[in-house]
Amino acid sequence: MKTVEMERNPKILAFLCNWCSYAGADLAGIGRMQYPPNIRVVRVPCSGRVNPYFIIKALQRGWDGVLVSGCHPGDCHYISGNLVARRRFAVLKDLLEYLGIEPGRVNFSWVSAAEGEKFANVVNDVVDKVKALGPAERLVKV
């Protein structure tokens, strides 16, 4: 049951690749950079590990937003995981938006281990976007 309080505080599931984005998030923490507490992080070895099922399942379970973040192209610890994922995410995002899932629910970024500040900014922006969209309803199974 979403109370009014919860409605103003979206819940965002963030898949962060271990080698770049997760480290970047860690750096943000070490540097005491402020970003909203609305994300819940799932550490994955590579953005290529992120199965579209995860994103769709998250939307079904009522997560208000999803963020997937990985290494910059060319810097993937597994050489090309993020490159394969890039095509996959492109198709998924276009398909979900065509169906009518609001743009801004599903987000992608490249954040390196040195980009603590970028991570904080990304989270800030994603939370703002999702807050403006309101609680997720489409695809949610109650």
Partner 1 sequence: MGNVENSMREIAQELLSEGKVDVIVGYGQGTLPLRTTPCFINKAEDVPKLVWNASCDANLSRYLVGREDKVGVVAKGCDARAILVCTVEKQILRENVVIIGVPCPGVIDKKKVEAKLDGKEALDAIIEDEEIKVKGEEFEYVLPIEDFTCDSCLTCRHRNPPIYDVLVGEKAPEAPDADEFAEVSSLESRSAEERWAHFEEELSKCIRCYACRNVCPLCYCKECFVDQTMPAWFGKTNRLSDTMIYHIVRAFHVAGRCVDCGACSRACPMDINLRQLVKKTEKIVRERFNYEAGISLEEVPPLGEFKMQDAQEFIR
Partner 2 sequence: MNWKVIAKKKMPALIEELTKEYQVFAPVRNESVVSFERVSSGNETVLDLHNTKKPPKEVFLPQNEILFTYRVGQESVEIEGAPALEREMVLLGVRPCDARGFVLLDKFFSSGEQEDFNYLRKRENAATVGLACNHPLSTCFCTSIGGSPFGKEGMDLLLQDLNDKYLIEMVTEKGKKLIEKFPWLRGAEKADIEKGKRLSEDAEKAIRSKLSVEGLSEKLDRMFDDPMWDQIGLKCVGCGVCTFLCPTCCCFDVLDEETEEAKRVRIWDSCQFPLFTLQGSGHNPRSSAKERMRQRIMHKFSYFVKNFGESFCVGCGRCIRECPVNQDIREIIDGISTR
**Interface with partner 2 includes 3 (CB under 8 A)?**
no
Residues at the contact surface with partner 1, assessed by CB under 8 A: 52-53, 56-57, 60, 73-74, 80, 83-84, 86-103, 107-110, 122, 125, 138-141
Q: Count the site residues for partner 2 by CB under 8 A.
A: 3
Please, which residue, 29 or 103, has the CB nearer to partner 1? Answer: 103
Matching residue, tokens 């060319």: 74
Q: How many residues does the chain have?
A: 142
Beta strand spans in the chain (E): 12-17, 39-44, 65-70, 106-110
Structural tokens at position 84: 């394969």
Q: Determine the distance from the C-alpha atom of residue 17 to the mean position of all C-alpha atoms in its chain, rounded to a whole number.
A: 11
Dist. CA 31–CA 55, nearest whole Å: 30
Which C-beta is closer to partner 2: that of 99 or that of 142? 142
Q: Residue 4 CB, nearest distance to partner 2 (Å)? A: 17
Partner in contact with 1, chosen from partner 2, partner 1, none, beta carbon below 5 to 8 Å by kind: partner 2
Question: Pick from 8, 12, 9: which is nearest to 25 by CA?
Answer: 12
Task: Choose, by CB under 8 A, the member of 3, 5, 99, 141 that binds partner 2.
Answer: 141
Tell me the closest approach of the beta carbon of residue 136 to partner 2, in angstroms: 14
Minimum distance of partner 1 from residue 142's CB (angstroms): 8
Q: In this structure, how many other beta carbons lie within 10 angstroms of the beta carbon of residue 1?
A: 4
Q: What residue ranges bind partner 2 (CB under 8 A)?
A: 1, 141-142
